[in-house]
Copies of this chain bind each other. A is one copy, B any other.
Amino acid sequence: MTKRYALGIDFGTESGRALLVDVETGEEIATHVHAYANGVLDETLPGGEALGPDWALQDPNDWLETLRVTVPAVMKAAGASADEIIGIGVDFTSCTVLPVDANGEPLCNDPALRKRPHAWPKLWKHHAAQPEADKITQAIRDAGDPILERYGGKMSSEWIFPKIWQVLDEDESTFDAAARFIEGGDWIVEKLCGQEARSACMAGYKGMWGGDEGFPSKDLLARLHPRLGDLVGTKLSNDIRPLGGKAGELTEEAAALMGLKPGVAVGVAVIDAHAAVPGASVTQSGRMVMVMGTSTCHMLLSEKKINVPGICGYVKDGILPGFYGYEAGQPAVGDIFAWYVEHCAPRSVHEEAASRGVSPHQLLEERAAALKPGQSGLIALDWWNGNRSVLVDAELSGLILGMTLTTRPEEIYRALIEATAFGTRRIIEAFEESGVPIAEIYACGGLPQRNRMMMRIYADVTGRPFYVAASQQASGLGAAILGAVAAGKAGGGYDSPTEAAQKMARLLDETYQPSAEAHKTYSALYQEYLALHDYFGQGENNVMKRLRAMKHA
């Protein structure tokens, strides 16, 4: 019998990856990574034109190159033939948005527009639209519209409306030249199957679209700017497709690019983090999935529709059909540990790590694992990149407290890990205070599999068992699962994401059960975290904002 494979294509911040998965068993047969030639454009355009502070762009040709390079590579590595591929799923960072012409060609590929920064795709972490985000928050509040309640009460500069409005504000001729604005993931799907099929996941979490509510009204958008009133339906598609749906079939041109056959089912695009939910085998409510890497994204399925204060957003059918999908996040997690190792870990740590052939992270983890909760005498606030959930304030910054002359590197390292765990506990409590219970946690992403101490700390801090996805590429696996669902049972795949995830995703055998004793100590420390969290984050002492203002003065 012929093998049936699904391809998950995972577009990240610095690279793209193809994953070839056995549809029947979920076995990951082959994977291949392509580092983007132009990476993140945050200082200049490829032609050398300077970008302002907080800009972050990408080059769409890097995405096409990912298709061209990685798919043939995994086909070859797996020894797979083109007719064994039954479906393709795409996950992508979001909101990564680009202006295209009437033919779907990125404006930045037009020689006349190539030197204009606004003609390029704005990456999810482009933060230069903060003024527009603030104006939108204010305008929505002034209008008395409840739409932001679904998003924790604030518009983020990362989302699509601020990013599009920034183009209009700063470069109206590029705005004029744009036939459409489109999410990167939706654009790739359009490249694959020849038609736009806008992702409900991306539109929901990043575009203020709701399964029950639709888009913001024309009146509301016109209050922002007269030219934005009719944006939805003209330059912004309102043809929203549910996750798990089929966007179309592979075109001749796309098939040729990747060495596949035309006609393969292509799924609706999904945000990379959200793809990890089925990728981590979660298809039930009450289970939180944490994608833990440079940052952490928390996702949760629930039958209930509740506004959780300070939580990034919920979208009906946004993660899996039949559920409200909730999303929260911590904008720096692995990034904090990497910052620590690069800018704070002393020479002695690097030297001992090198002499033992381990990484500085491994050495620090090993030493920190010997410490008991509370033993360092330290506590930290994990706001090195602001706070995305609960406080929703990008102007907050990090804090470490309790240092003495005997404080050692591994103590600081552990305190930083603990701080990120306290941040997660605060998010869990925000959900539970609003009536969305969380019984178990499923971890995936780059960190959980290689940092067992961190998992133990998270279990002890939250008092909840932690399960770890078996896949090292839960997002890519989730995309492949959605590819198999796009094919449907008739096409050799599955008819629902739930069924597909049950067959194709699994967990590691090792789970992390909280220790009652450690949880008790951490609960006392968490009270200290909360007091500092509220003192510095809720306005009692806005020193972090004032220092930030002085820094940028």
Q: When each residue 238-258 of chain A gets 1 if its CB lies under 8 Å from chain B and 0 otherwise, what string results?
A: 000000000000000000000
How many residues on the A side are at the interface (Cβ–Cβ under 8 A)?
50
B402 in contact with A547 (CB, 8 Å): yes
Q: When each residue 518-553 of chain A gets 1 if its CB lies under 8 Å from chain B and 0 otherwise, what string results?
A: 000100110010011001100001011011101101
Minimum C-beta distance from A6 to chain B (A): 36
Contacts A/B (CB < 8 Å), 22 sampled? A336-B405, A339-B403, A342-B346, A342-B348, A343-B346, A343-B409, A344-B346, A374-B553, A377-B547, A377-B551, A385-B404, A399-B401, A399-B402, A399-B403, A400-B400, A402-B543, A402-B544, A524-B546, A524-B550, A528-B543, A535-B535, A535-B541
Number of identical monomers bound together in the oligomeric complex = 2
A343 in contact with B408 (CB, 8 Å): yes
Check: A115 CB closer than 8 A to any chain B CB. Answer: no
A405 in contact with B543 (CB, 8 Å): no
Cα–Cα, bound, A408→B342 (Å): 10
A543 in contact with B531 (CB, 8 Å): yes
B384 in contact with A405 (CB, 8 Å): yes
Check: A332 CB closer than 8 A to any chain B CB. Answer: yes
User: Are A343 and B407 CB-contacts (below 8 A) given A399-B401, A531-B541?
Assistant: yes
Cα–Cα, bound, A457→B389 (Å): 38
User: Are A525 and B541 CB-contacts (below 8 A) given A343-B346, A346-B344, A346-B345?
Assistant: no
B550 in contact with A521 (CB, 8 Å): yes
Residues of B within 8 A of A191 (CB): none
Chain B: CB-nearest residue to A374: B550
Check: A397 CB closer than 8 A to any chain B CB. Answer: yes
A543 in contact with B379 (CB, 8 Å): yes
Residues of B within 8 A of A535 (CB): 535, 541
Chain B: CB-nearest residue to A407: B343
Chain B: CB-nearest residue to A397: B402
